[in-house]
Chain A
Amino acid sequence: MTAKVNKKIIAWIGWALLFFGFLLCAIIVSFCIGSVVIPLDKIFQIIFNGRGTQEYSILFNDRLPRIILGFGIGSALSLAGALLQGIFRNPLVEPYTLGIAGCAALGVCFNIIFRLHHLVGIFTLPFSGFSGALLAVILIYVLSHKKGIIKIKNILLLGVMISFISSSLIMFLMSISKTENLHGIIFWTMGSLGETNRILVSLAPIAAFLGLIVAYIFSINLNALSLGEEEAFYLGISVERTKQVLFIVASLLTGLSVSIAGIIGFVGLVVPHFVRMIVGRDHRVLLICSFFGGAGFLLICDTVARTVISPLELPVGAITGIIGGTILIYVLSKKQVVL
């Protein structure tokens, strides 16, 4: 009797450890590989004795912040995607398809053009990203509760439209902006883990981790929600509160990610999907594996992006799209997947 339960839990622990291991490997790979390959044994030497050498500089000034950011943002986006997919019970949902990221981008764009961050300080950038994200969430929430627009398919359509409108607005802002601003915007929309501000960089993984903890508290609720909102209600779940809290968490994570690292798509869509196919739909294992998986995935993509045509750097968003999309298509074609 109890053996069945134990099997399930053992499987979960196994998966969680596996994905954690994947993350650790991705971190190590990111440390070692770049336009200069530093083998693993040398790394320990450098960390302890190498202060002042070039390799030390590369590891600590260039690669370490990238790793911290990649960890934080990959996990945040992936978690946000998993949460949104759980709330909407729809596998096509992720921060980008709902227009959340588009609006966050718009917020940051606005900030750059009107130079608000010069007035009030560097934190207005993540703040404007988050405000944009929250605006999109509120819009979707309000419109989806109005009579006649309650169906989930309509929410998706709404999200796509918001996404399009945001991109168009961004293009419009770009066309009327001065050249100096233009560069800033273009760099930023291409998605990059090159942020240097210490506080922003450190904030990313901490925020993601906090998001994970909050999300975990609602993991049972998400499981119940997968049976339908009414059924979840009958199980004693406070459905509205669950949706509200998780909406806010997802938009916080997205807004933060977009404002620090620009537009990096696909992570929120592909990783939870892929993880769900492997570990199942129970959110108690899905959330944590998506967390680790997303972080590892982004780190690997970033390593590819900055190594392939070194010394030039590809935008990491392009790599996540290519690798992520390819993996997903391949897996879907092989397996009959029922979500």
Chain B
Amino acid sequence: MSDCILEMRNFHGGYGNKQVLSDINFSMPKGEIIGIIGPNGCGKTTLLRAVTNIVKAGRGRVILDGNYLAKMSNREMAKMVAVVSQNPQIANINVQEFVLMGRIPYFSRMQFLESTRDVEIALHYMQLTDTLKLKSKSLTDMSGGERQLAAIARALTQEPKLLLLDEPISNLDITHQVGIMDLLKKLNKEYGVSVITVLHDLNMASEYCDRLLLLNNGRIHSAGTPFTVLTYSIIEEVYKTVVVVEKNPISHKPYVLLVCGRELKEKEWQNH
């Protein structure tokens, strides 16, 4: 048991012969929300997969709560880490059954039926994610946002110490976007769940994350608080597009403003 929930030391890894991630070094103290950001194809999803041992280390180590990931069984890992995928397969299953599956890592060897406690836990998290009212609905009949909440409920039912989310809000309307991020914040602050989430939206990342990891070409380009990472020079260097960074008037966190290329040219021309 250490202070760090996750540590990656000198991690290199990828798919088959193709090495995607190189030189990944960071440690995450318990109780943080970390956002992983970066351009398309820079290895964000791969990094998440590395934490769950789907992508194995070619070189280097992953340490979860003081234990080497490589030495953990799949089940032990599942009790510690839960994943909310980007586009989960839509199965014809009702929400309660779906969420209950989160208890699978805790089933004993010959256990086939969920215990009453399992059911209680599932219902509790369904209530937390406001999906209790949907419990008999099939996943196929739900909106993207509702499905995402159900997936989060299922991940929480695993009672993990670390929650991984891969672009949880990319396809949702702003109501659901804020709703889900607020939920993550609440889980983090009130329940002590450590969270790592991949985000496309730099501003959401800035608002909600304690720290950010900016990836580029499979390497960590910058790491630190939103203030240190979200500067216009860093962003322009990595994303190769001009931005203006202001302050969010309510939270005072960095706020990235995108600039229309045409407008920029006109302004430059005007200034000459």
A→B interface (CB under 8 Å):
1-2, 4-5, 9, 147, 216-217, 219-220, 223-224, 226-228, 230-231, 233-238, 281-282, 284, 338-339
Contacts and interface: CB of A to CB of B under 8 A. Distances in A.
A5 B116 CA distance: 8
A338 B77 CA distance: 33
Contacts of B242: none
Contacts of A236: 74-79, 104-105
B89 interface: yes
Nearest to A284: B112
Contact of B101 (A1, A2, A235): A235
6 contacts: A2-B119, A216-B112, A224-B101, A234-B85, A235-B102, A339-B92
B257 interface: no
Which among A1, A147, A227 has the greatest number of chain B C-beta atoms within 10 A?
A: A227
B52 interface: yes
Interface string B107-148: 100101110100110010000000000010000100000000
Given A1-B119, A234-B82, 6 more contacts: A2-B116, A147-B16, A234-B52, A235-B78, A235-B158, A236-B74
Contacts of A223: 101, 104
Contacts of A237: 74, 104
Contacts of A227: 88-89, 91, 93, 98, 101
A331 B85 CA distance: 35
A339 B135 CA distance: 19
Which among B91, B93, B114 has the greatest number of chain A C-beta atoms within 10 A?
A: B91
B83 interface: yes
B216 interface: no
B201 to A, nearest CB: 24
Given A1-B120, A236-B105, A226 B91 contact: yes
B194 interface: no
A217 B107 CA distance: 12
A227 to B, nearest CB: 6
B54 A233 contact: yes
B237 interface: no
B197 interface: no
Given A223-B101, A236-B79, A9 B88 contact: no
B89 A228 contact: yes
A4 B122 CA distance: 12
A220 B105 contact: no
Contacts of A235: 78, 101-102, 104-105, 158
